[in-house]
Homo-oligomer: A and B are copies of this chain.
Amino acid sequence: MSKNKVNTKVLSGFVELLPEQQKFFNYIKDEVRASYEKFGYFSIDTPTIERSEVLFAKAGGETEKQIYRFTKGDNDLSLRFDLTIPFARYVADHYNDLVFPFKRYQIGKVYRGERAQKGRYREFYQADIDIVAENNLSIMYDVDIISTIFSTINNFHFLFVLGLGFATIKISNRKIWEGFFEEFGITGDKKASIMGIIDKKAKMTAEDFNTELSEVVGDEKITSLILKLFEVEYMGKIGISIPDKYHADFTFINKNEKMKEGISELETVISTLKAGYPDSADTFTLDLSIVRGLDYYTGTVFETYLDDYPDFGSIASGGRYENLCDNYTDKKICGVGGSIGLSRLFIPLIESMKIKEDIFLNVLILPQNEACYKKAFVTELNLLSFFKEEQIIRNISAIYEDKKFKKLMEYANKLQTLLVIIIGDDELANNTLTLKNMISGEQSTQSLEATKEILKNTLKK
């Protein structure tokens, strides 16, 4: 780059892909969308810019610092940092026009001015689903969210098997911990600190975790009970069970309504998912160390990890919330949602893959000189109409370059073209077209009508 030129490199933490990579990312995004729609979620598209007060009403400490905030005229504005807060505002604002329970999806970019580091983006796609209703929402909707997320990710099974291995969805319920903390009178900052440590458990060694936990708890008996809770497993027909050897320690559960409720909900969620996906029953596991950082979750919480790359962090997560719309409306809206981190999951994969797009351009028309340009254009439109009639979804392009035939064929090769239509002086004089299959090498000259037949046989699946 010479001096006086503006820096054209994409900003640090931002992503842009080359066309063949973009095509692959679009394919993934389209499949996610189709999957969400299949499960009966409706699309909404909120503005990227929100009033700052809307976002700051819900953003926590770290997130607040990451918000892109600015003024325009008298307006204090910010870029959304997730799709959940804007959705909460949307529900409050359009309450009277929506049918509840309302199932919506939104796939869009969100913005976080994080410190630049590997795998962290400042602009990235989230693909969210949520179900909300007033006052009550069956625990079955928690099942619906996790089921939709699982089924959607499972569409990319081929990718997981190729490059990412398998994934496990770890499910918990915050009511169990809420009940536990109530039982021992742990509240406020102390509760938050303990939850914070539990949230980091997967990233720490057992030793570091135990030390830090017991420091913060400051009570040996309670620390020991917490550690024992992590051994709780989902036991098939018995449901969730405390290991026999600890039964005496946990008799208080029978009198703790919140813990009982959490356990019962968690049992329903896991058992129903296992029943719905018998071939993938092992994907759904109970893990009480899943608590999720965000304050607004109140029941079911889940995170999804790649079995072979636990350090990659959660690729899809969500949970149940009761008070998300509190700042926006007097109505008591409860909901459950989930989100797939599209960019975080797929961009590194796409950037590292040598993407081999089999066919990039289906038909390329190559007029040999300027006299043939108009015929090339009319032929292109003619074939596109024919494709429409025959419901053949394929692309056609023409190249108008006054270059040697060899150069034109090089262009066709670079764009991985399947079929080339050559129009030279002979074709013009005889009103014919020469068709060449770039894979088989077959070449033939015939009328437009005969060419259409060959195209139909080659391109129609």
Contact = CB atoms under 8 A, between A and B. Distances in A.
A6 B140 contact: no
B11 A47 contact: yes
Contacts of A19: 42-44, 98, 104
Given A16-B90, A48-B109, A22 B43 contact: yes
A147 to B, nearest CB: 7
Interface in A393-436: 393-402, 411, 414-415
A356 interface: no
Contacts of A73: 113
Nearest to A38: B395
A329 interface: yes
B38 A140 contact: no
A378 interface: yes
A166 to B, nearest CB: 19
A57 interface: yes
B415 A99 contact: yes
Tell me which of A6, A51, A395 has the highest count of chain B C-beta atoms within 10 A of its own C-beta: A6
A336 to B, nearest CB: 12
Judged by DSSP, the binding face of A is mixed
B327 A5 contact: yes
Contacts of A140: 373, 376-377, 398, 400
B2 A330 contact: yes
A131 B425 CA distance: 26
B396 A39 contact: yes
Nearest to A8: B93
Interface in A1-45: 1-2, 5-11, 14-19, 22-23, 25-26, 34, 37-40, 42-45
A296 to B, nearest CB: 15
Nearest to A115: B73
A452 interface: no
A14 B395 contact: no
A103 B104 CA distance: 34
Contact of A397 (B15, B103, B393): B103
Interface string A375-397: 01110010010010000011111
Contacts of A277: 381
A427 to B, nearest CB: 17
Contacts of A453: none
Contacts of A237: none
A384 B38 contact: yes
A138 interface: yes
A69 interface: yes
A141 interface: yes
A9 B414 CA distance: 50
Contacts of A381: 147, 151, 276-277
B396 A40 contact: yes
A5 B330 contact: yes
A143 B374 CA distance: 10
B44 A16 contact: yes
Interface in A57-106: 57, 68-70, 72-73, 75, 77, 89-90, 92-94, 97-99, 101, 103-104
A350 interface: no
A374 B414 CA distance: 53
Tell me which of A47, A48, A393 has the highest count of chain B C-beta atoms within 10 A of its own C-beta: A47
A178 interface: no
Interface string A123-165: 1000000000000001011011001000100000000000000
A447 interface: no
Contacts of A210: none
A111 B72 CA distance: 12
Contact of A377 (B8, B101, B123, B147): B147
A25 B402 CA distance: 41
Given A8-B92, A47-B123, A140-B376, 6 more contacts: A40-B361, A40-B364, A49-B68, A72-B113, A138-B400, A275-B374
15 contacts: A2-B330, A7-B53, A18-B97, A39-B395, A39-B396, A99-B411, A99-B415, A101-B401, A138-B400, A140-B398, A147-B381, A151-B381, A275-B374, A275-B378, A276-B378
Name the 8 nearest CB pairs between A and B, nearest first. A40-B397, A70-B70, A138-B400, A140-B400, A19-B42, A8-B93, A14-B47, A99-B414
